Amino acid sequence: MARPLFFEGMVRPMERLKTEVLVVGGGTGGTAAAIQAARRGAQVVLVSEFAWLGGMLTSAGVPVPDGNELRPWQTGLWGAFLSTLYQRQPGGLDHSWVSCFSYEPRVGAQVFADWAEALPNLRWIQGQVPKAVEREGDCLNAVQFEDYRIEAQVIVDGTELGDLLALGDVPYRWGWEAQSQWQEPSAPLQADLDSDLFYQRYPVQSPTWIAMLRDYGEGVEAPLIPAPDFDVDEAFGGAGDRFGSERLLSYGQLPADGTGQPSYMLNWPIQGNDYGYGLERLRGSLAEWQAWAREAIAYSQGFAHYLQREYGRRYGLASDCFPQASAGLGGGAFALHPYYRESRRGIGLATVIEQDLLPQKDGFVAALPHDLAGKMSAIALGNYPNDHHYPEREIKLAPKARRWGGRWTGTPFTIPYGALVPHSVDGLLFCEKNISVSHMANGATRLQPTVLGTGQAVGMAAALCVEQGCQPRNLDVLTLQQALISDPMAPSAVVPLYNLSPEREDWRSLQQFYLEHPERYPYDGEHPDLDLSPGQARECSIEHFKHTSSLCLADENEGYRLSHPDYPQGLPLITLRPEVEAILRDLKTGQSISVVGLLNPAGPWLRATALVLQPE
């Protein structure tokens, strides 16, 4: 966890190390950067505070990730992570309704640990946070920790709050930007920023200190969760009114544990446990941060107490979910550190703004970015619809979603390489929520799969800079793009295409085609005349649900439902695969089909992985 900045006198002699790439922070982006740089062949030192790698995906307690869910977006380390989870997670990944994937945090953490420990040129140091940054002129060249001084050719800031930016005197942004700065459609007017105290109270999005609740089973009384010293009815009253108690819990439901009982991620956005109060303390002294942290943990414990009181003593804290945190904050049922939605945001060679996320007119994809030299500069992709969390009000955001495969999904966008490179400092790359992005755009770029992809691109860029003996600002972006799509272990897409799944034999050649011809990138995001026959896709090697029935098209939301005896109104049918979606588009009501898929009772839905029309 990135902590607030403070400096203590060095008592013990520091071990001095020298490496090619230094990654500070073992979160989602930092873990990806370290693994990718080492796989490319660079000598890498990764320094993390905790014994778990993965950040948001593991130690911050969000094993129900959002975004990049469609099969064409499951590339690179994100796709490899999902594939490994399918193999390792007992009970599969289809358990929650906020995401198509959920897993036990310890399973995800072990995946990342195994990847890191398999690399002999990656040294992983645990239990350290940065204390000081050294620089020569405009170039960062070393970071001091309590027990280490580490010098590197390229330093990567993978901290949760962008600590190296402040320690290294690297320019950064914090808080809101007025609409006049970049003409973002959802940004506030300057007059509102000046007069409305809301914007001063909540300079960044609310973090959440996530807790895990467990169902101990019918007739079993879980340990009593202590009542907090605040009014839980005032704080959380009505939390389940909109969706009901069952839906509130299954929102973030995890696979059942060894006893057969499920656990639930408490990251509820409606009268829930987001804690957005006194957020300036996040970049204050250690004592200020600790005060905020204790309040945030108490708030989540209060939410768990409220749910136990409302829904019954069968529900209690899952006290064995996380290892104990060394600092005494977090661990047990509570994540090792907060789920930060926003941090210091570096000022880069390029800045992602809200318009860069929005679909082009009459299309379903954002335009591909270009750098100042006119080169197409996309290096990672995301698709989240944009989402902001504040205690007092909802922010109206420009829409960027569409119906696809029987469900709503965000339209894709890309991250430009310039957003990872500081504008005025050398020797450094950004790889977390600290990339160069506006406050409004951060609501979509901050999601776990996108940060994993950004981190992978940063790791590849760092290794290439070492190979070529150049600074990140001088790296040729085409070289980076080609290295990403050609990586032998986890090739990563840089151009999003709805109908191009990563297992296709022509995947790499079509990615290369749009690198060479970005002007031909289609507005609808579909490569023309692409063969989507079932033979182009491989089956998932997991247990499937098989069902044959008549199909009826649903309501005006363009959904699909199967007739099913257990679902009187029909079982919703969705898909993440383009070859299945192509068939669904042309189905007629009542047509008989054979479906292979995975049943998610929390949805409820059947996620089709294959679909065949039956003869009439």
Mean pLDDT, rounded, for 513-535: 91
User: How far apart, in whole angstroms, are the C-alpha atoms of residue 583 and residue 353?
Assistant: 36
Q: Please report, for the domain that includes residue 601, its CATH number.
A: 2.40.50.140
Token couple for 26: 């073992």
pLDDT of residue 554: 57
Token couple for 320: 């064995």
pLDDT of residue 327: 66
pLDDT of residue 595: 87
Strands 44-48 and 122-126 come out as parallel
Q: Quote the number of domains for the chain.
A: 3
Residue 113 has pLDDT above 90, yes or no: yes
DSSP string, 63-119: -S--S--SGGG--HHHHHHHHHHHHHSTT-S---SS-S----HHHHHHHHHHHHHT-
Residues 358 and 412 occupy one common structural domain: yes
pLDDT of residue 10: 47
Which of the residue ranges 25-29, 47-51, 246-250, 566-570 would you say has the lowest mean pLDDT?
566-570
Residues 222 and 260 occupy one common structural domain: yes
First to last CA, the chain: 59
> Cα separations (Å) of 256 from 264, 410, 484?
10, 29, 36
Residues 383 and 455 occupy one common structural domain: yes
46: which DSSP letter?
E
> Cα separations (Å) of 585 from 255, 339, 406, 530?
32, 38, 9, 16
3-class secondary structure, 293: helix
pLDDT of residue 557: 66
Residues 304 and 389 occupy one common structural domain: no
User: How far apart, in whole angstroms, are the C-alpha atoms of residue 396 and residue 386?
Assistant: 10
Enter the pTM of the model: 0.95
Taking only the tens place, the pLDDT of each residue in 299-321 is: 999 999 999 999 999 999 999 99
Mean pLDDT, rounded, for 205-221: 96
- What contacts 312, CB < 8 A, 6 or more positions away? none
E strands of 82-240, at which residues?
122-126, 132-136, 139-144, 148-157, 172-173, 211-215
DSSP string, 539-587: PPSS--EEEEEEEEE-STT--EEEEETTEEEEEEEEES-HHHHHHHHT-
8 A C-beta contact, residue 593 and residue 559: no
How sure is the predictor about 7, in pLDDT bands with cuts at 50, 70 and 90?
very low
8 A C-beta contact, residue 459 and residue 76: no
Give me the chain's average pLDDT, please.
93
Does any domain span residue 24?
yes
pLDDT of residue 367: 97
Residues 403 and 461 occupy one common structural domain: yes
Does any domain span residue 435?
yes
Taking only the tens place, the pLDDT of each residue in 155-203 is: 999 999 999 999 999 999 999 999 999 999 999 999 999 999 999 999 9
Taking only the tens place, the pLDDT of each residue in 571-586 is: 899 999 999 999 888 8
Does any domain span residue 234?
yes
3-class secondary structure, 129: coil
pLDDT of residue 470: 98
Residue 473 has pLDDT above 70, yes or no: yes
Residue 6 has pLDDT above 50, yes or no: no
Which residue range forms the structural domain that includes residue 414?
15-174+341-520
Residue 11 has pLDDT above 60, yes or no: no
Mean pLDDT, rounded, for 56-85: 97
pLDDT of residue 563: 83
Does any domain span residue 42?
yes
Taking only the tens place, the pLDDT of each residue in 441-457 is: 999 999 999 999 999 99
Residue 292 has pLDDT above 70, yes or no: yes
Residues 513 and 421 occupy one common structural domain: yes
